[in-house]
Chains A and B, each alone.
Chain A
């Protein structure tokens, strides 16, 4: 049995992608449990910070998703850690300060539009944590996208935010019952108070991931953003 600290739950469409941390002696590394027949979960009832016991089998994943492991049995929750402690462990796992160090390869700008991508064969991994000098979240057609500055000063623009909790927060903020001008109110919140709430948090931290290859390219995503959104923030705008 393997003990896995769940650090990421991302959502794109109806499916969830899950990543956890596994400690092997002194090394802490990211592991992505996947079902036997797919790359993502249609139902994942656990939360970030949960420590799950599970059985994982090596999986011949295509580069760069070397973290994939097949979950051969269900997950059993043994305990949980709080948000700040989760970040403490994430800071001991894969980390980078600059763009080429994120996935061990060159990162390319999308010549036809927004976003950044890597070539699958070049990338050495598909997940990495980093500190940020600054971060901005913006809404594009009700989807959350992030622009951030790495410690190296390099700027990553227009990354889709796939963090489940943040996507749920945006959905809740834009729910019809929230009244008029809710998009404008949310944008104002993201532009002002948000910045201070996020950047001043001692456990502010992000993890970036690569999508599965699509037309021979893996696209950068903002997988996880700490601190996680608080339900009470919805009362502020």
Chain B
């Protein structure tokens, strides 16, 4: 259903009723309907996450797509929302899911994740301590973002040590020696030194000299970028065994003297590692088969988060948390929808969602918007914080670990979805794999 370009008075009333109904659902029946021009966030009627949830409820009820893009730079008021609803009326709504599910993509990829691992900084800090360190009221991160604790790197830990630990554990789990690797692909949003992270991991792992070392960017989307590159290398026959490693140590960059707590307080330190090989290789007994990847960049949200080195050596951070939250939910929901369409796998049959987790409340909201159980999203950000490119990796590892305890028949597909500044987005899927030829 789409709204006509010009809305009549009756339709305006209908829109207003819809908005009011969604507001009551979000804020509760006891909260009176505010004046049209009141900024709901500034007035303390809703917090930023509540506003995002309210917007998504309006989008769902009205079939309006991406209302957030019409609300940039505008107040969080009924007036702005109603105006955005009218502005969005000329945009055709997304096709219904049932239409899109008719043409699933063929499963042509033959690359398997054979082992995985995850490592976090060894200092676990209650979020209240982080609140205090950033000069925020104790309990703010827990109440506003849902973060209970954060994993911070200890003195001897950094991206290389955490990444190497995760990679060693993955190699051990796969009974694979580092000298069997053909490529090490690393990604990090915090390691900017040279030799690069991939090169340092290559040395640390004692990979063969003719094993390649490649760094890929994308910040929180880095894992998906790296997996896609690894998949291409294996499919093209240029590699048989590839290690993908993520490692992020935010606690040394996003410090209280450089950034505000509402931004810096969200992040923790961690790493993940995945071993990929050909599905038909004799050594590949079981694992998860990589499906296709989809990628893109929604430039209209580019200003929502920007981080740069300032001339005076400080860190320039532009962070519109509310706009970014709206964009994150809307875009990840879209990505999940696209993955569903491309894979032909209904989201209801997915065993786990390895997504970026900006904060736990957004994850809960994403689950609600997608109509899936929040249990399907491993609670990484709740206990470790936002781990950058390693969030998605940690979630994927947890899902794979859970699946390894299940019988083969019980294992279900996995969806990947993530975002990076830009606003980069990407998604993909994995399906259970077993090498029946080896079994026989």
> Which residues of A does B touch, CB under 8 Å?
133-136, 138, 147-149, 153-155, 157, 191-192, 195-196
* A192:B175 contact, CB within 8 angstroms: yes
B207 → chain A closest CB, angstroms: 9
Instruction: Tell me the complex Cα distance, A153–B206, Å.
Output: 10
Determine whether the beta carbon of A154 is less than 8 Å from that of B203: yes
CB proximity of B86 to chain A, nearest CB, Å: 59
- On whether A149 and B178 interact (CB within 8 A), knowing A157-B209, A192-B172, the answer reads no
**Chain B residues whose C-beta falls within 8 Å of the C-beta of A149 in the assembled complex:** 203-204, 206
Determine how close the nearest CB of chain B comes to the CB of A184; give it in whole angstroms. Answer: 13
Q: Which 7 A-B pairs give the minimum distances between C-beta atoms? A: A191-B177, A136-B206, A155-B203, A149-B203, A153-B203, A147-B206, A134-B206
B204 touches A134 (CB 8 A): yes
Enumerate chain B residues within 8 angstroms of A136, measured Cβ to Cβ.
Answer: 177-179, 206
In contact, B172 and A155 (Cβ under 8 angstroms): no
Is B313 an interface position by the 8 A CB rule?
Answer: no
Q: Judge whether B172 and A153 touch: CB under 8 Å.
A: no
Contacts of B164 in A (CB 8 A): 133-134
Q: Which of A138, A153, A191 touches B195 (beta carbons < 8 Å)?
A: A153
Cβ contacts under 8 Å, B168 to chain A:
195
Contact size range, B: 10 to 19
- Alpha-carbon gap, A63 to B164, bound state (A): 39
Instruction: Please report the C-alpha to C-alpha distance between residue A108 and residue B358 in the assembled complex, in whole angstroms.
Output: 48
Instruction: Find residues 131-168 in chain B having any chain A CB closer than 8 Å to their own CB.
Output: 164, 168
What is the CA–CA distance of A210 and B203 in the complex, to the nearest angstrom? 23
Least distance between B154 CB and chain A CB atoms (Å) = 17
Contact A134 B195 (CB under 8 A): no
Do the beta carbons of A138 and B200 come within 8 Å of each other?
no
User: CA separation between A191 and B168, bound complex, in Å?
Assistant: 11
B205 interface residue per 8 A CB criterion: yes
Q: Enumerate 29 A-B pairs (CB-CB under 8 Å) in ascending A order.
A: A133-B164, A133-B203, A133-B204, A134-B164, A134-B204, A134-B205, A134-B206, A135-B206, A136-B177, A136-B178, A136-B179, A136-B206, A138-B179, A147-B206, A148-B206, A149-B204, A149-B206, A153-B195, A153-B203, A153-B204, A154-B203, A155-B203, A155-B206, A157-B209, A191-B177, A192-B172, A192-B175, A195-B172, A196-B172
Please give 19 more A-B residue pairs, beta carbons under 8 A apart, in addition to A149-B206, A191-B177.
A133-B203, A133-B204, A135-B206, A136-B177, A136-B179, A138-B179, A147-B206, A148-B206, A149-B203, A149-B204, A153-B195, A153-B200, A153-B204, A154-B203, A155-B206, A157-B209, A191-B175, A192-B175, A195-B168
Nearest residue (CB) in B for A190 is B177
Which parts of B188-219 form the interface with A (CB within 8 Å)? 195, 200, 203-206, 209
